Structure formats: C-alpha cells, structure tokens
Structure 1
C-alpha cells in the first residue's frame, strides 16, 4: 500500500503571473465553484453510490464508463485548483474530495498524469467494500508511490535511497527487520521506561504553568525529546530549551513537501529553483544534526562493547539503533537511513495527532471525565505506568482512535498500484492504475459511522450497543491502522512505538490535569502539510488535579 497525495501540478501547469489577475477568486464561494465544476463534469449512468451502506450489484462495466472528475473544459479545472491553492481553504483537498463524491458516488477516476509510463488516471474509492477489494488484491512487486521532491533531492546529491523511495525487492528486504522492531506490541512494550522518563519531565514542566500558549509547539518539543530517546537512547534537551532546531527543520521539510504536492505548477521542482534550494537547506541541516547524534551513539555502543559492558547495558535498556546495527540483514548505511527517517517523521506525526487528541478531550469534558475515571480505576495515584496498565485501558485507546477518525491524519488515504486488472465497484480497472482508498471521506460518512461529526469514543468499545455498532460491519472504513506494509509512511503511521507514545502522554496529562480550551473555542482549525496539522496556535488551560 502507498500513502498518496494527489499532485495537482501534474494536472494543469500555469504561469504564476496569472495569479495576480485572479484575486477575485478569493471572494468566490466554494458552493458556487461546486456548481460550476458540477456542470462541467461528465456523469455516466454507472454512478455507484451505495446509499444504504451495502455494495451494489450490477454487471461489470469498462473503465471508460467510470465517472470522471473534472472532465469538462480545461480552463475551469485549472482555475479551480488555482482557487484552492491561493485561498488555502482548510482542508482544501478534503473539500474537493467531498464535492467529487457527492457528484460521482463511491468511485470515480481523475486524469493526473503522475509520470511517464504510468496510467494517466487514478481511481478514488470511498466505500469499505471497495477498499477491501483493493487491499486484498494480490501484490508481489511492491510498487510504491514516491514523493518527487524527495526523489529529486536524493538524485541531485547522489544519496542512497531512503525508506520513502525504496520499492520492489529493496523495500521488501528493508521493511522486514524494521517491522519486527516497530510493529510488534510485545517488543515495543520494552520501550515503556524510556518514554516514561521523558513524559514525567514534560508533566513536571506543564505543572509549572497554568496554560500552554501554543500546545502544538510544546508537543513538538516533547515529541522531539521522546522520539529522540526512542531512536537514540539519548536526551536532546528539548524540554529545557524551547529553541528546538530539530523541530524547526522537520516542520519546514514537511511543510515544503506538502506545498510541492499542492502547487498548481511544477517549476519549483527544478534543482535551481529557490523553493528546492530552501528544501535542500533544511533537509541538510536536519541530516547534520541527526547524523551527529547517530555517530555519537555508535561510538558509545562500540566503547561499551570493548569494555565488556554492552550485554549488561542492553539488558537494562532496549536500544533501537543497536537492534538495527546488529541485524545481519541490515547494512550500517540502511540502519542510519531508517533511524533518521523515523526520527523526522515520528516527531511530525506524534505532535500532530497528540494535539487533536488533547483538544478533543478538552472540547468534550464528559469524555475527559470518563477517561479520568478509567485512569483512576486502573492506575490510581501511581506514577509508575506499566504495559499491563496500558493493556487494560480500553477507553484511552478508544479516545485516541476516535480523534484520529474525527480528524483523519491524511488528506485522503492509502493507495495501491494494481498489478493485475481488477474489478472494483462494478468497473474493470486496468493494471498499473493507482487506486486510492479515501479513508478520510469514509470516516466522515454517516453510512459507516453514525453521527460522524461527534466525538464518540464509545463507538470503539466492545460493550457498546445500538446505532454506533454499525461501524463494526465496515472494518475497512477506518484504515489508519490498516495501512499496508508497503505504504510510504507505514513505519510511522502504523508504528507501535508511536502508538505507545500517544497513549502514554494522553494518559499522563489527563491523570495530572483537567484540561480545557479558552471560553468560546469549539473547534481547532487545521490544514495539511503531508499530515493534518493545526492552522493556529492552540491555548490549553491546565488545572492540577
């Protein structure tokens, strides 16, 4: 499976001066544009909306008859994407996908010209049954979607391919040892003491103030410190010093990756462009810091081995870097690349998801109270959390899962290049087509999740009855933890270590504080870089329990 971000600059390329002539687009209502696009899109009689939540039955139709998005006059769709880009409506891609689903139903195609030799179309599916068909289709080649900016940077500087660029046998060989160390809960549970040290210090820091002026920045510092501890067994000092250069460079890299996806032209993809040079600068700076830490830890581990203390050290403290370096299937170069990738993406994904978990609990105090009651019942006043505690905390896990559903981390979802022709939703989709499973839409679809805009962790509990149990009939509607092993970011989104991190800090904050947002705040605005992220500073009030 591949994490997919539709690159609209491959749909239409326009000269940027035209933007100066289009300032009135800022004033255009999205509903009006929806009507314009609706008039210019081709709808066939084969629309496959499953209004009752069941897969429709009909004869198989050729790919040519599948509804096509933005198939009208070229200038209409060109101006629409310019409008999305310059207004930066949040989150614009979700709005676009919602509009297309309302028009075309649960399956449609779009011409995007991803690259030479690829099928010109992607297919977007928004029904769990179709998702199941895609996810369960045979896969042997492990072909993966790649972000072009990372690819350009790697080729220009003659660097070895990172995890984000590997596919085929290369990816298969690298992912197995990585997954063994990150996706198995029994293995990951050994990292609880490392996370606990950092979390206790973070809670102590929060206790010295009545509110956070910028929750996301605080969580970025916490994520940098905790993910650094997990990757390197080393404290980086990010909690004591708000000047966090690692987070600055990581944020900029992800922001620019997101921008490269959304820009309506591709001139920025030139190695000589100002945009690329800035991306290159921040990537180099992050790499320099990470490499210095990795080199120091290699020296430390070598010294421990020479002194005969390594075995005892590893018994007392798990070491992720050493687990890779000592694996005969992993080269030293690959181990370094894996750890750097995990470090950067782990910071970004953890800070974003934790922000929405905590703001949801702040906006819904009854759910926060229920979680606190569970913590008191299972943990009590203990500050020594264990894997046994976490294993029993079903409501904590439900709260995190519901926040991820309600504010889905990706703009659409995961996708897959078909290795054979495949029937999906009543259409024959040809080999090599990229099919995207739009989990972001399904998570907000009332057919699969009743009362989808509400924050209802109870829908994930086994003892829940009534309408909320409908989602159990559609396990493929929520794919955040079903991301396949070949996804671009599966090591980060499906990572048991980072899941543990989310549980740990959420539990500790609610155990120690009653949290709330300022009076009158009923939502947290957000947009996408590569992942969903807050669009503005979030103030979180902290009342000690």
Structure 2
C-alpha cells in the first residue's frame, strides 16, 4: 500500500496513529505565531516550555498528560498546524523535528533528496536483523546498502509493463476470491479476509505460484496467521510500549521472532522451489515463465543474498496494505451508493463477471482510479506522510534548516485541508476527473506512495491488485453497509487499519 513495509513510518518516538473513518476535520490556514525575527531552526514556531525537554517532552503531548491519544497523532498534527501555521518545530527525542503542512515545502524537500534518501529505521526490525545476523531489509536499510538493493529492483518493479503482464493471473485470483463468497450474503472479517486475496496475489508476483490462502469456510492458514502476527507486532512496537526487547528476548519479541522466522522460511521455501524449477527448465531446454524472483536474479548488480532479502520483503510486505486499502475503498463506495453505481456502469462495460482482465483494461476505467485516489485522500494510508532527513541544509519559509533535521511531510493533514481540497469531508472521485469537478490539485498535496528515489517500490502492483479485486467484486455484487453502520473506526498500526473486523452486505448483481 508504501507497498507494505517499504512505506513504514519509522520514528518510534513520534510517528503514527488512529482515527475514525467518517472524521475529516476542516482546517483553515491561520496566522502562525511570530518568530523572534530570526531565520534559524530555533526561530520556527512550535510548542514551548516543558514540551521542549529532550525525550520526555514529546510524550507530554499525549495521554495521560493531555487529551491526545498517541494512536490519534493525526489529531495532534491538526492542532499544531492550526496553532502554529504551515511549519512547526517540535522536540522529538533528542533532536528537533519539523512538521510541514505546505505542499510547496514538501516539494522542495523531495526535490532536495540525495541519491540515498535517509529515514529512521524500525527498531524492532533492526534488533531482529542483528540477532539473526542478516543484512538490513530494503525497508530498513540506508545509504549504499539501501541503494545496492533499491537501484536494480526499482528498474523492474516501477516499469508499467513489469506488473501489467500479471493482470490476467491476478484476475483469476480475484475470480476465486469472489467464488469463495457465493454461499454468503456478507463480506466479513475485514481486512483479514481480503488478506487471503492479497497473499495469493503477492505469491503470484514473487514466485508465479498459488499459495492456497483463499478459503470459503473461514479457515485460517498458518501463512495468514503468522503474517497478521508479524505485522501487528511490527506496527505496535512504534507506540507507547517500553522497548524491553532491545535488552532481552521479551515475550513480545519472541512472538515477533516466531512469526518472522516462519515467514522468512516460507519465502526461502518458495525461492528454492523457483530456483529448482528454473534449473530443470534450463537443463531441458524449456522456457520458464517470468516472475519477480527470476527477474531479480537475472538483474546485474544484485547478489543472490540481496535478491533473497528483497523478495522476502516484497512477499511479507505485499499483503497488509492492499487488504486495508480495499476495505476502506469498499466502505467509501458502500457509503456513497451513487458513486458505486456510476463505477458499476463503468466496470460493467469492460469487466466480465468471470474471466480475464487484460493488461489495458484498467486504463479504460478512469473512474475506478479516481475512486481509489479519493479513498486515499479521505483516509490517508499512513499516519502523517513521509519522513525525510536531508544531507544538506535547506531553506523553508525563510528559515535555514540544518542538514540532519528530521522532517515529517504531513500529507495526511493536507488531504483534509479545505484550502487544497474543497468539500474535504465528502467523497468526491470526480475531483480527480478531467473535465468534471476536477480542481487544480497541487501534485505534492496528495502523495500516498511518496515521491522520488524512495517512493513506494510496489506502487504499481499494489494499485493493480486493488483495481482488479474491486472491479471483480463490484461487477458481481452491490456492496452495502449493514444497518446502523455509518463509519469504520480505525487506528494506525503500520497502515490505517479497522479497530474491529469490518463487514459489508453483498447483494448479487443480476445484470
């Protein structure tokens, strides 16, 4: 979705949170508190007094010291913007950090990225990698280590044709998923049920194989169980817990380690099988069908160890964000039946109830793309946006910002700002359609996948998975909210996630 772990927010001190799906607050620009007349970092407005204490000061912004919940940090972002203006200075742990709420400033930061954009690592994952004596993952690496994996990989995964060739296979998986619902009038236990579909999709992408995750009787496979355990622990460690796992193998850490070991061994199993199949095909003079693993193995500049780490990252990380994104997209369409009906008419023209969706089919349905963009806008997939640490000084709003300053690019807050998105509390896919309600949207006001060298590497595949599943599901069913349901309460774990399992009613389409 940042296709799973590639887009994780990594500041354990500050950067994640929940909200409610129907809550979209209007923020009007306000006059910032005036600085002392200087133009340095310390002249930027922001909380003062005890909030400026190193380490502990940041915690005082949240419960039990204030009304703000750490897992509602997006509300705190909103309050800072309203009080201090478009650039806010906040003491994080030891360093000072900045929160940016102007898309022009965000563009300037992204344009200043160096060859190896730096961000903070995930402490739990770093501890696991150190104890397992394995190199950092693509999501957790920086510098040359990161670029050595990212450079060759993005040439494959960010090419449009690199993922569109999987469209017919992903549509077959979507058909199987829709078939699994035929004896039910409800789509329940979301996003977990949708993870069955996304797991099958990432298995096809990485290994060109089916994993057997889709069930019709709510059976939970070990793969799905451990995936949920892994992602839950990786997300939860970013919040208020004391990181005792850094000192010893706590119960929390052991649970994470067990899940991670299972998933890495599962990836290794499929990697070894794919390599064996490749060898056999080569010995017999046969062509072997392409998949991401084989594409990476044939890419100059990647060692077998780097390929293994990259493919494992994609395999594990390519499940959670897709399922959550689909859940909230379906909610927005169920909550706006007129938009769903317009989308259905578009889908009906191009998508069969059962059968292949070809590579170019999605491009014929711009309203489907607009619905996904608008769903991302109404509920930004990560708590705030991207975090950047530049290796050079930069000037923002007349202030000189020294290199090494953590900067939170608060895209989620901008997406709920009336200044940039009129009627921001409404689901209006037409705002993204040329010739309709479209306004001149600043391209740096809405960046759910990031931008630049470290943008979400799995964006194209993740979008394709969502488009195909949504198209197949809505071609066969009208999705309806259960009686009394008006929103889906959610929180941020890694991505925006329903607090409780969500469900929708399904009405079979006759046309």
TM-score, with structure 1 as normaliser: 0.83
What does residue 172 of structure 1 align with?
A: 147
Separation in 1, partners of 2:116, 2:167: 36
Q: Over the residues paired in the alignment, what is the CA RMSD in angstroms? A: 2.5
Q: Report the structure, 1 or 2, having the larger helix content.
A: 1
Separation in 2, partners of 1:413, 1:281: 30
Shift of the alpha carbon at 1:376?
Answer: 2.2
Is this contact kept in 2: 1:258–1:530, CA < 8 A? yes
Where in structure 2 are the equivalents of 1:87-486 lying within 5 Å?
Answer: 91-113=71-93, 120-240=95-215, 242-263=219-240, 265-309=242-286, 311=287, 313-314=288-289, 318-379=290-351, 383-465=355-437, 469-470=439-440, 472=441, 474-486=442-454
- The superposition leaves residues 355-400 of structure 1 with CA deviations (integer Å, 9 ceiling, x where unpaired) of 1111111111000000011112334667332122211110000001
Is this contact kept in 2: 1:144–1:416, CA < 8 A? yes
Distance 1:91 1:369, change over 3 A: farther
How many residues align structurally?
483
Shift of the alpha carbon at 1:196?
Answer: 1.6
Is this contact kept in 1: 2:351–2:475, CA < 8 A? no
Distance 1:225 1:138, change over 3 A: closer
Separation in 2, partners of 1:537, 1:88: 24
Structure 1, 367-376 or 294-303: larger mean CA deviation: 294-303
1:508 aligns with 2:488: no
Structure 1, 322-331 or 263-272: larger mean CA deviation: 263-272
Is this contact kept in 2: 1:9–1:264, CA < 8 A? no
What does residue 29 of structure 1 align with?
A: none
TM-score, with structure 2 as normaliser: 0.88
Shift of the alpha carbon at 1:336?
Answer: 1.3
Shift of the alpha carbon at 1:262?
Answer: 1.1
Separation in 2, partners of 1:388, 1:106: 41
Distance 1:302 1:432, change over 3 A: same
Shift of the alpha carbon at 1:191?
Answer: 0.9
Is this contact kept in 1: 2:174–2:472, CA < 8 A? yes
Give the 3-state SS of the residue equivalent to 1:447 in structure 2: coil
- The superposition leaves residues 492-539 of structure 1 with CA deviations (integer Å, 9 ceiling, x where unpaired) of 4xx211111111001111111111110121111111111111111111
Shift of the alpha carbon at 1:271?
Answer: 3.1
Shift of the alpha carbon at 1:436?
Answer: 1.4
**Which 4+ stretches in 1 moved above 6 angstroms?**
none
Distance 1:147 1:409, change over 3 A: same
Distance 1:176 1:445, change over 3 A: same
Separation in 1, partners of 2:132, 2:324: 30
Structure 1, 270-279 or 396-405: larger mean CA deviation: 270-279
Structure 1, 373-382 or 135-144: larger mean CA deviation: 373-382
Separation in 2, partners of 1:81, 1:242: 39
Give the 3-state SS of the residue equivalent to 1:521 in structure 2: coil
What does residue 3 of structure 2 align with?
A: none
Separation in 1, partners of 2:233, 2:113: 34
Q: 1:496 aligns with which of 439, 460, 482?
A: 460
What does residue 46 of structure 2 align with?
A: 68
Distance 1:496 1:2, change over 3 A: closer
Separation in 2, partners of 1:207, 1:258: 34
Q: 1:45 aligns with which of 25, 34, 53?
A: 34
Q: Return the structure number with greater relative CO, CA threshold 8 A, min gap 6.
A: 2
Distance 1:9 1:212, change over 3 A: closer
- Unaligned segments of structure 2, at least 5 residues: 1-5, 16-31
Distance 1:381 1:531, change over 3 A: closer
What does residue 15 of structure 1 align with?
A: none
Distance 1:295 1:443, change over 3 A: same
Separation in 1, partners of 2:48, 2:223: 40
Is this contact kept in 1: 2:230–2:256, CA < 8 A? yes
Separation in 1, partners of 2:488, 2:7: 28
